[in-house]
Structure 1
Amino acid sequence: MYNQSRQSGLIRFARVDAGSTVIDVYPGDGDWTRIFSDAAGPEGRIYSFVPAEVAHFNNDPVGRMRTLAKEPGRENVEAVSADLLALPEVTQPADVLWLHLFYHDLHTALIRARGATAADFNRALYERLKPGGSYVIVDHAAAAGTGTGDTQSLHRIDPASVREEVEAAGFVLDAQSPMLANKDDPHAVKVFDPSIKGKTDRFAYRFVKR
């Protein structure tokens, strides 16, 4: 997880405020679900959305998020799980859609095995986001010009490809942040490699639904 300064910066970048409805897509350990729960407060609503495509993992991601939702003070959190493309069916319209280090997985065999494509998923998110809402993507950067070629092998994606795909669904790029950039990342090694783990060059995009 990031230091406090970066966490605060990303909350502001995502425009999560008191009363916001946020969908945290594939929440992992739930760190961001907790952060958004605190930021949105009792009038907010946080959906900790575990894609059915990964619900079978041995670490029981759905069960872990249900346990998180029962923590004291987490009454504004709801753990939900469904196929990626069914996200609109199990959530309410959102102010913020949050994908942290997950977008590249839309191009991997694991996620596509159940029929989800990045194009279809982006259209589903467009349907679920409120007008004026934020669709925020933070991910590991691949080398410029590589497109989606390194998503499976290195768990990286070319930021330009992300922008192209998301804008094709109707979103408009509203802002991008360099706060997670690392110019010393060679972009040629897997993100789990000890030499770069936790220090990858990452991009942050905020798209909006006009």
Structure 2
Amino acid sequence: MSDPVPVPDYVSAAIADPARAYHFGRDERRRPGELIAFSGLRPGDRVLDLIPGGGYWTRLFSLIVGPEGHVYAVWPKNYADVAVSDVRRLRELVESPPFTNITVEVQPTPDLSAPEPLDMVWTSQNYHDYPDEFMGHYDPARLNAAVFAMLRPGGTWFIVDHAAEEGSGMRDTESLHRIDAAEVRRQVEAAGFEFVGESRVLRNAGDDRTLPVFDDSVRGHTDQFVMRFRKPE
């Protein structure tokens, strides 16, 4: 496990920015300061937010990377087809400052790409979706290969997801919306990435990892793993 990383002032300023006041109430459980500090995201970076949902992280990334950086908010088409309102709202958001440094895209699920080398690709609570039926049973190996191709040498692949029982592999991705952290690490390293470290900031020993993540007893406070990988220089 990695040691805690001090939260830079530019991250704290972005978290406190009134432009994202709508999401202030989610900060306590999502721990944005600690996660972004651990990720290493900096002003001027190019970052792709993969399956951005309601745009919680997208807004923060926009405020952090600033006018010299850029944020790509990308949905694979299979996912966009079931998240129509999220896609629409994020497209409306980026029409006005300070979020005009965001590009919103829906891309063919098998063919993720970026128009320039990226400093980071980030996905939160969605890696487990790829092997599921609605995503066309997309092979995670193809996802990791696509991310590898999009990143610059030294770039970061940052994954947050709901933890499944140890040794369960991908057994619970469809039924519980969880995935075994060790399986994710194995898949990502098999694609050529180097493991940088893991943060325990979202770990919750009170979640025994046997319930669906939408069950009222665990929703919003599941046991989650946070892993950072690097494309070799």
TM value normalised by structure 1: 0.94
Partner of 1:161: 183
- Answer yes or no: is 1:112 the counterpart of 2:141: no
Residues matched between the structures, number: 207
One-letter amino acid of the counterpart of residue 140, structure 1? H
Residue 112 of structure 2 aligns to a residue in which SS? Answer: helix
Alignment partners' CA distance in 1, 2:124 and 2:187: 17
Alignment partners' CA distance in 2, 1:149 and 1:126: 25
- The RMSD of aligned alpha carbons is 1.5
Equivalent in 144, 148, 155 of residue 133 of structure 1 = 155
Cα displacement string for residues 82-115 of structure 1 (whole angstroms, at most 9, x for unaligned residues): 1233221x442110100100000012111125xx
Cα displacement string for residues 158-177 of structure 1 (whole angstroms, at most 9, x for unaligned residues): 00000011111111110100
Residue 87 of structure 1 aligns to a residue in which SS? Answer: coil
Equivalent in 55, 62, 72 of residue 30 of structure 1 = 55
Equivalent in 74, 78, 82 of residue 49 of structure 1 = 74
Q: Is the 2:29–2:220 Cα contact (8 Å) retained in structure 1?
A: no
Q: Is the 2:145–2:191 Cα contact (8 Å) retained in structure 1?
A: yes
- Give the drift of 1:61: 3.1
Q: Is the 2:159–2:226 Cα contact (8 Å) retained in structure 1?
A: yes
Alignment partners' CA distance in 2, 1:154 and 1:22: 29
Partner of 1:142: 164
Distance change >3 Å, CA 60–CA 183, structure 1 → 2: same
Residue 148 of structure 2 aligns to a residue in which SS? Answer: helix
Alignment partners' CA distance in 2, 1:169 and 1:204: 18
- Answer yes or no: is 1:103 the counterpart of 2:127: yes
One-letter amino acid of the counterpart of residue 93, structure 1? P
Cα displacement string for residues 45-84 of structure 1 (whole angstroms, at most 9, x for unaligned residues): 0001011112222643332221121132112110011123
- Answer yes or no: is 1:60 the counterpart of 2:85: yes
Alignment partners' CA distance in 1, 2:66 and 2:220: 29
One-letter amino acid of the counterpart of residue 131, structure 2? H
Distance change >3 Å, CA 97–CA 112, structure 1 → 2: same
- Answer yes or no: is 1:203 the counterpart of 2:228: no
Distance change >3 Å, CA 123–CA 167, structure 1 → 2: same
Q: Is the 1:143–1:187 Cα contact (8 Å) retained in structure 2?
A: yes
Provide the identity percentage: 40
- Give the drift of 1:197: 0.2
One-letter amino acid of the counterpart of residue 187, structure 1? R
Q: List alignment gaps of at least 5 residues for structure 1.
A: none
One-letter amino acid of the counterpart of residue 215, structure 2? D
One-letter amino acid of the counterpart of residue 8, structure 1? G
Distance change >3 Å, CA 39–CA 58, structure 1 → 2: closer
Alignment partners' CA distance in 1, 2:198 and 2:110: 26
- Give the drift of 1:5: 8.6
- Give the drift of 1:4: 8.6
One-letter amino acid of the counterpart of residue 99, structure 1? T
